[in-house]
Homo-oligomer: A and B are copies of this chain.
Amino acid sequence: MTPKVSVRGATMPASPIRRLMPLAEEAKRRGVHVYHLNIGQPDLETPPAMRERLARLTERVYAYTPSAGTPEFLASLQSYYRRLNVSLSTDEILATTGGSEAILFAMLACANQGDEVLVVEPYYTNYNAFATMAGLRLVALPSRVEDGFHLPPIEVWEKARTDRTRLVLLCNPNNPTGTVYSREELERVAGFCREHGLFLVADEVYREFVYDGRESVSALQLPGFEELVVVVDSLSKRYSACGIRLGCFATRNREVYSAALRMAQGRLSPPGLAQFVAVGAQDLPPDYAQQVVAEYRKRRDVLYEGLRKIPGVFLTRPEGAFYFVARLPVADADDFARWLLADFEHQRSTVMVAPASGFYATPGLGADQVRIAYVLNETDLRAAVGVLEEALKVYAGRVERESVVGSR
């Protein structure tokens, strides 16, 4: 008798972007250059101060590190947070295998099987995978392109809450929308959480990436909410070091920290080479983040200024992260994304975008939207905008819409 895969295994969501990958590969085989506006892998180099650490690694045994992370790495995280005016002791920070593991730990520690999580859609697709692993139900609250995807009013949260709701999961700055929530928005949601005894799990892996003088407020900076805040963090984007798989889980709630630590003990230790490399971040020049952010702001401007001039395209000025969601003058962005790769080329080039439908839980929402990432250099981004403009002129599924550009 052949055993059956589990229900959760069978229903584990596949990455929606990956379905387009074979089409992109096929286009490249035809000699068509593909501008990847779909991916979140930064092209900037991992800082030499980190990479050069490897030459200084003298250990002859690559041993387990402590489950919570090496003292050196935890101390480096502690001083990183201190510079943000967030005071944490090293036993309020837990090194994790990327932000991913921190999300899973947070879900498991804050909620039980069958419990509900409030999340604002569109949201980071992989939350679905972690929720399936943890047996949680994500309950999506709408945010709208017209509002720059800012948070819905509290009435919407109140209505969505049930007896099973255990936590709010907020990504700030937001992937996929590029929205940066204001201190007031955060305090409003935190107040809602406190009122109803919910955890606020804040995924802040894009913390540094905010533009136009905006303030990046960490949930760890909200006074009075210490017991309910869990922050999920990662070095992946901050230092363009996605592949080392290093992040952290930070909370001042002792019980939640203790639960996550015991999960961490179960898996023995976070990646050791990564932690060794990561300590090099301490030697970066103080303006490292500003330089990186200036580069991304320039790219954002290229895309934003370019796209807003294309008839029928709608987006508000992206506020942070290195993504945004734009509405296109198409009925079905999934079809458009496939068509771009399979049936279109302009001067031997095409563009790969992520259809936004994959970032919504509610069927039908985001059907005319795409997520655009700006992890390419300026020249490529300009070229990509040109390709997209030409594509929209000839795509058969085009629908006419008023082109309104937000001015927030």
| Pairs A-B, 5 closest by C-beta atoms | A129-B266, A9-B259, A243-B272, A1-B197, A100-B267
Instruction: Check A12–B243 contact: CB distance below 8 A.
Output: no
A110 CB contacts on chain B under 8 angstroms: 3, 5-6, 9
Q: Which of A187-207 contact B (CB under 8 A)?
A: 193-199
Q: Mark A99-116, 1 if CB is under 8 A from B, else 0.
A: 011001000111111010
Instruction: Check A60–B64 contact: CB distance below 8 A.
Output: no
* A18 contacts chain B at the CB level, 8 A cutoff: yes
* A15 contacts chain B at the CB level, 8 A cutoff: yes
Instruction: Check A62–B197 contact: CB distance below 8 A.
Output: no
Name the distance in Å between A290's Cβ and chain B's nearest Cβ. Answer: 20
User: Which A residues fall within an 8 A CB radius of B?
Assistant: 1-10, 12-15, 18, 41-46, 51, 54-55, 57, 60-65, 97-98, 100-101, 104, 108-113, 115, 126, 128-130, 133, 135, 166-167, 193-199, 227-228, 240-245, 253, 255-256, 258-260, 262-263, 265-274, 277
Partner of A243, one of B166, B227, B244, B273: B273
Instruction: Check B243–A5 contact: CB distance below 8 A.
Output: no
Instruction: Check A135–B133 contact: CB distance below 8 A.
Output: no
Question: A3-B110, A269-B243 are known contacts. Are A41 and B55 too (CB-CB below 8 A)?
Answer: no
Bound CA–CA A265/B193 (angstroms): 30
Bound CA–CA A133/B263 (angstroms): 8
Question: A3-B110, A195-B1, A196-B1 are known contacts. Are A133 and B266 too (CB-CB below 8 A)?
Answer: yes
Question: A2-B227, A269-B242 are known contacts. Are A262 and B61 too (CB-CB below 8 A)?
Answer: no
Partner of A129, one of B2, B61, B263, B277: B263
16 contacts between A and B (CB under 8 A): A1-B196, A3-B110, A3-B193, A5-B256, A8-B108, A8-B112, A10-B255, A12-B259, A15-B265, A15-B266, A18-B265, A54-B54, A97-B271, A100-B267, A129-B263, A271-B271
Instruction: Check A245–B46 contact: CB distance below 8 A.
Output: no
Instruction: Check B263–A228 contact: CB distance below 8 A.
Output: no
